[in-house]
């Protein structure tokens, strides 16, 4: 090759600095046994919490809410089991059961006499409460929240009656566990208790009720004594309700020869309006480092909980509590946050996560009834549940999640890049790539980030199929796509609205480069398209699973021999798409060196240089 043609390559010397800002090299272990990954995920892992007072909004009253049922069924088809439901929240501590009340509704208790800022017996439910719940898909696991706040002299009869109704009433869905009391750490504030109330008194009252429910309800029904999930706390920071303290208080000890505690159950929200002091924007939510910061204390609690030998479940969680934030929790950026949160918590060995729903919350995955002048509809967040369900189902109950180190990402992509691995049958199966850089729908020149993946030599020369979680932008409220699928507002039915299949191929050493647009996530699955296989259910049968067959044929190129070239083009195109004119290449490089205003927008001149350089590089090295 003549020297003069190759000369412009020298110009490239100044470029890697800016290119380094938009790419990252990652190696994934091909075997789970070498990788430090989670335990296998339960098919019901990514579930929902439903506020008890809102149950009928979700299930329907006299008539079933087919939309909600379909929203549950979609996820069951993808993962192999319906999402885990926690029926609990503040209102579980207001409810008493009356077997003679048969409406598909709850009513105010005309004889309310109990204590509390809102009385601990202010709401009455009857048998139809469980008939409504039973409309959810077969074997939907239910954690049911019993009332601990109520403490009138007949409290044992009351809690036993409700527990009995739950056991008798759940015929189609599956009673999985009981909570006793919602957020007892707040009982002094909401006037459910006065005087000395702490982790120790809670422990005594919890065990007293667990024992009564077991002896009178669970034992006669042939159910296990290890059926209860304490402490269901809001926040234990600075309280006497920390797991270690409760263990010290005897919460996990046997009572009358029985071990009642089966799980550690805690609650959290990324942000809670009126509690979290600082303000919140969508961009803040999408800074995923914020999740780690906010969850740092909880990571320790998870570890302490697991060390006691019991699983840890996060039964009440949300991006924004108590009822979301329009423009933040109900736009596409929240879906990226949610997918990251599921992968992150899975990698910590949290064994179940319930995203809390009320009928009026803009953080609920779907709006089940007409509200705010809008008919029932699907929120973007639901698409993250669909993605996670397919990731889990893809491994037939052997899926294990690991996280890849992204801490070397600096500059403006810091906090915006996450990468996780998913293993099936102990082997690397997919890589989950998240780029949460905020790009709005109106932004016509979105940037992208390139993940240079090394999937190991055992994955050399393999097809990798890409499933994308996308929308026009982070601020989009609709038009969301997961793996080409959309879910219809009002019916919840899934349909494939983009049947194109994007495939790449690893090179002779197992490497592949994948570019992810700002405000997008991609799951790269080895050998087949996610969701194209049947999914094994617990009973050995399979769900229809397949929403999308990979028979349409690949539309993306990327043979092993052209991998380097493809990578170069991908990077170039990524740069091209972020061009908005303005600063020169020199200025860009300089600001990059100072570590400020990272070079997201490159000048047209720089782009030309880049394009020419890549073309020449191709000619030179071909």
Ligand X SMILES: *[C@@H]1O[C@H](CO)[C@@H](O)[C@H](O)[C@H]1NC(C)=O
Give the CA distances from residue 496 to residues 122, 217, 269, 392, 613, in Å, rounded to whole numbers and listed in that order: 46, 46, 33, 20, 40
Helix axes 585-594, 604-621, angle to 10 degrees: 90
The total of other beta-carbon atoms located within 10 Å of residue 60's CB is 19
Compare residues 147 and 403 and give the one whose CB is closer to ligand X: 403
Q: How far is the CB of 374 from ligand X (least distance, A)?
A: 6
One character per residue 39-58, x = contact with ligand X (rule: CB under 6 A): x-------------------
Contact criterion met (CB below 8 Å) for 14 and 589? yes
74 contributes a contact to ligand X by CB under 6 A = no
**Residue 362 in contact with ligand X, rule: CB under 6 A:** yes
Binder among 111, 372, 539, 622 for ligand X (CB under 6 A): 372
DSSP per residue, 113-141: ---TTTTTT-EEE-THHHHHHTTSPTT-E
- The CB-of-606 to ligand X minimum distance in angstroms stands at 21
* Strands 502-505 vs 463-470: parallel, antiparallel or unpaired: antiparallel
Nearer to ligand X, 343 or 439 (CB): 439
In residues, how long is the chain?
622
CB of 231 to ligand X, least distance (A): 21
With contacts defined by CB under 6 A, name the span among 71-79, 288-296, 432-440, 578-586 that binds ligand X. Answer: 432-440
Q: x-or-dash pattern for ligand X, window 205-244, by CB under 6 A? A: ----------------------------------------
- Tell me, by CB under 6 A, how many residues bind ligand X: 24
Which residues lie closer than 8 Å to 347 by C-beta, 6 or more apart?
37, 38, 401, 402, 403, 420
- Closest distance between ligand X and the C-beta of residue 330, in Å? 6
Closest CB to ligand X among residues 34, 153:
34
Closer CB to ligand X, residue 386 or residue 422?
422
Q: How many CA atoms lie within 13 A of 117 on its CB side?
A: 8
Q: How far is the CB of 57 from ligand X (least distance, A)?
A: 15
Instruction: Check residue 425 for interaction with ligand X (CB under 6 A).
Output: yes
Which residue lies nearer to ligand X by CB, 219 or 326?
A: 326
Q: Which is nearer to ligand X, 396 or 467 (CB)?
A: 396
Minimum CB separation of residue 443 from ligand X in Å reads: 5
Pick the closer one to ligand X by CB: 491 or 533: 533
Scanning residues 596 to 615, which ones bind ligand X (CB under 6 A)?
Answer: none
> Residue 130 has which token pair?
């469980």
Near ligand X by CB under 6 A, which window of 35-43, 84-92, 331-339, 556-564? 35-43
Contact assessment for residue 317 and residue 328, using Cβ atoms and an 8 Å cutoff: no
- Of 44 and 362, which has the nearer Cβ to ligand X? 362
CA distances from 447 to 260, 396, 531, 570, 600 (A): 53, 35, 28, 12, 7
Of 107 and 326, which CB lies nearer to ligand X in the complex structure?
326
Question: Measured from the CB atom, is 450 or 578 closer to ligand X?
Answer: 578
Question: 452 vs 533, which CB is nearer to ligand X?
Answer: 533
Distance, in Å, from the CA atom of 230 to the CA atom of 246, rounded to the nearest integer, reads: 10
Strand 23-27 to strand 448-454: parallel, antiparallel, or no bridges (unpaired)?
Answer: parallel
Take residue 525 and report the two structure tokens written for it.
């699955």
Q: How far apart are CA 319 and CA 316, in angstroms?
A: 11
**Segment lying near ligand X (by CB under 6 A), choices 176-184, 436-444, 491-499, 563-571:** 436-444
Bridge partner residues of 256 (DSSP):
none
Q: Of the two residues 205 and 347, which places its CB atom closer to ligand X in the complex?
A: 347
CB atoms under 10 Å from CB of 605, counted, come to: 13
Residue 405 sits at the vertex; the CA angle it makes with 401 and 410, to the nearest 5 degrees, is 140
Q: Site residues for ligand X, window 293-352 (CB under 6 A)? A: 323, 326, 330, 348-349
- The nearest distance, CB 303 to ligand X, in angstroms, is 7
Which of 175/334 has CB closer to ligand X? 334
- 81, 393 in Cβ contact below 8 A? no
Which segment (36-44, 249-257, 411-419, 588-596) binds ligand X by CB under 6 A? 36-44
| Closest separation in Å from C-beta 463 to ligand X | 15
* Least distance between ligand X and beta carbon 122 (Å): 23
Residue 273: CB minimum distance to ligand X, A = 9
CA dihedral 349→452→590→415, nearest 10 degrees, is -20
Residue 160 CA to residue 147 CA, distance in Å, equals: 10
Q: Which of 18, 22, 30, 38 binds ligand X (CB under 6 A)?
A: 38
- What are residue 129's phi and psi, to 5 degrees? -60, -45
Binding mask 438-457 for ligand X (x = CB under 6 A): xxx--x--------------
CA–CA distance from 525 to each of 75, 81, 366, 534, 570 (Å)?
19, 21, 28, 15, 19
Q: Give the CA distances from residue 62 to residues 58, 65, 105, in Å, rounded to whole numbers and listed in that order.
A: 12, 9, 9
Among residue numbers 475 through 494, which ones bind ligand X (CB under 6 A)?
475
Q: Which stretch binds ligand X (CB under 6 A): 33-41, 217-225, 248-256, 444-452?
A: 33-41
Identify the helix (H) or strand (E) that includes residue 584: none
Give the integer Cα–Cα distance in Å for 492 and 470: 18
Pairing of strands 264-267, 231-233: parallel
Cis peptide before 322 (omega within 30 of 0): yes
| CA 489 – CA 443 distance, rounded (Å) | 26
Give every strand in the sheet of 123-125, ordered side by side.
Answer: 95-97, 123-125, 107-108
Provide, rounded to whole angstroms, the least separation between the CB of residue 426 and ligand X: 10
Task: Find the shortest distance in angstroms from Cβ 533 to ligand X.
Answer: 4
Q: Which is nearer to ligand X, 85 or 480 (CB)?
A: 480
Residue 408 sits in the site that holds ligand X (CB under 6 A): no
As measured in angstroms, the least distance from the Cβ of 233 to ligand X is 21
Q: Are the C-beta atoms of 521 and 339 separated by less than 8 Å?
A: yes
206's CB contacts (< 8 A; 6+ apart) are 148, 180, 181, 184, 228, 230, 231, 251
Minimal distance in Å, beta carbon 260 to ligand X?
23
Looking at the Cβ atoms of 138 and 374, the one nearer to ligand X is: 374
Q: Which of residues 502-561 bind ligand X (CB under 6 A)?
A: 533-534, 536, 542
Q: How far apart are CA 620 and CA 622, in angstroms?
A: 6
Out of 169, 395, 567, 598, point to the residue binding ligand X (CB under 6 A): 395
Residues between 456 and 475 that touch ligand X (CB under 6 A)? 475
Query: 38 or 128, CB closer to ligand X?
Result: 38
Contact residues: ligand X, CB under 6 A: 36, 38-39, 323, 326, 330, 348-349, 362, 372, 374, 395-396, 424-425, 438-440, 443, 475, 533-534, 536, 542
């Amino acid at each position: 090759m003549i020297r003069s043609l190759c000369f412009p390559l020298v110009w490239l010397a100044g470029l890697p600095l800016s290119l380094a800002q938009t790419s990252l090299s990652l190696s994934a272990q091909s075997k789970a046994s070498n990788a430090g990954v989670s335990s296998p995920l339960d098919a019901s892992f990514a579930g929902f919490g439903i506020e008890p007072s809102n149950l009928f909004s979700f299930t329907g009253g006299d008539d079933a809410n087919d939309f909600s049922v379909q929203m549950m069924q979609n996820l069951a088809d993808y993962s192999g089991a319906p999402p885990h439901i926690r029926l609990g929240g503040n209102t579980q501590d207001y409810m008493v059961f009356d077997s003679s009340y048969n409406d598909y509704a709850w009513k105010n208790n005309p004889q309310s006499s109990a204590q509390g800022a809102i009385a601990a017996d202010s709401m009455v439910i009857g048998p139809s409460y469980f008939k409504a719940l039973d409309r959810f898909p077969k074997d939907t696991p239910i954690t049911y929240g019993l009332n601990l706040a109520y403490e009138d002299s007949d409290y044992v009869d009351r809690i036993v009656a409700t527990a009995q109704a739950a056991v008798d009433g759940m015929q189609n869905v599956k009673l999985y566990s009981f909570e006793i009391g919602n957020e007892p750490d707040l009982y002094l504030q909401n006037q459910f208790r006065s005087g000395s109330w702490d982790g120790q008194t809670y422990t005594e009252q919890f065990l007293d009720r667990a024992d009564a429910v077991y002896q009178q309800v669970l034992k006669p029904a042939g159910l296990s004594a290890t059926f209860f999930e304490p402490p269901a706390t809001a926040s234990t920071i600075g309280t006497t309700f920390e797991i270690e303290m409760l263990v010290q208080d005897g919460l996990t000890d046997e009572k009358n020869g029985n071990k009642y505690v089966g799980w550690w159950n805690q609650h959290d929200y990324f942000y809670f309006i009126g509690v979290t002091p600082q303000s919140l924007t969508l961009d803040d939510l999408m800074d995923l480092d914020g999740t780690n910061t906010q969850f740092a204390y909880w990571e320790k609690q998870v570890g302490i909980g697991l060390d006691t030998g019991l699983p840890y479940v996060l039964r009440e969680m949300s991006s924004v509590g108590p009822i979301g934030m329009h423009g933040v929790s109900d736009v596409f950026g929240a879906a990226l946050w949610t997918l990251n949160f599921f992968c992150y918590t899975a990698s910590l060995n949290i064994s179940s996560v319930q995203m809390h729903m009320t009928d009026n919350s803009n953080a609920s995955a779907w709006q089940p009834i007409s509200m705010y002048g809008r008919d029932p509809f699907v929120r973007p967040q639901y698409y993250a549940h669909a993605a996670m369900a397919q990731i889990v189902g893809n491994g037939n109950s052997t899926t294990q999640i690991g996280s890849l180190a992204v801490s070397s990402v600096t500059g403006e992509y810091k906090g915006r890049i996450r990468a996780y691995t998913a293993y099936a049958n102990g082997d690397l199966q997919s890589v989950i790539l998240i780029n949460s850089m905020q790009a709005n729908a109106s932004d016509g020149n979105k940037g992208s980030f390139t993940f240079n993946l090394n999937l190991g030599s055992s994955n050399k020369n393999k097809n990798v199929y890409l499933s994308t979680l996308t929308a026009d932008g982070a601020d989009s409220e609709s038009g969301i796509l997961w793996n080409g699928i959309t879910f219809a507002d009002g019916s919840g039915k899934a349909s494939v609205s983009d049947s194109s299949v994007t495939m790449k191929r690893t090179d002779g050493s197992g490497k592949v480069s994948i570019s992810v647009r700002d405000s997008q996530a991609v799951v790269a699955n080895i050998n087949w398209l996610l969701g194209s296989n049947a999914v094994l259910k617990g009973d050995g049968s399979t769900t229809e699973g397949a929403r999308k067959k990979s028979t349409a044929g690949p539309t993306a190129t990327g043979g092993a021999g052209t991998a380097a070239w493809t990578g170069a083009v991908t990077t170039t195109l990524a740069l091209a798409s972020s061009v908005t004119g303005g600063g020169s290449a020199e200025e860009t490089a300089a600001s990059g060196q100072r570590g400020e205003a990272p070079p997201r927008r490159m000048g047209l001149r720089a782009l030309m240089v880049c394009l020419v350089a890549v073309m020449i590089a191709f000619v030179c090295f071909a």
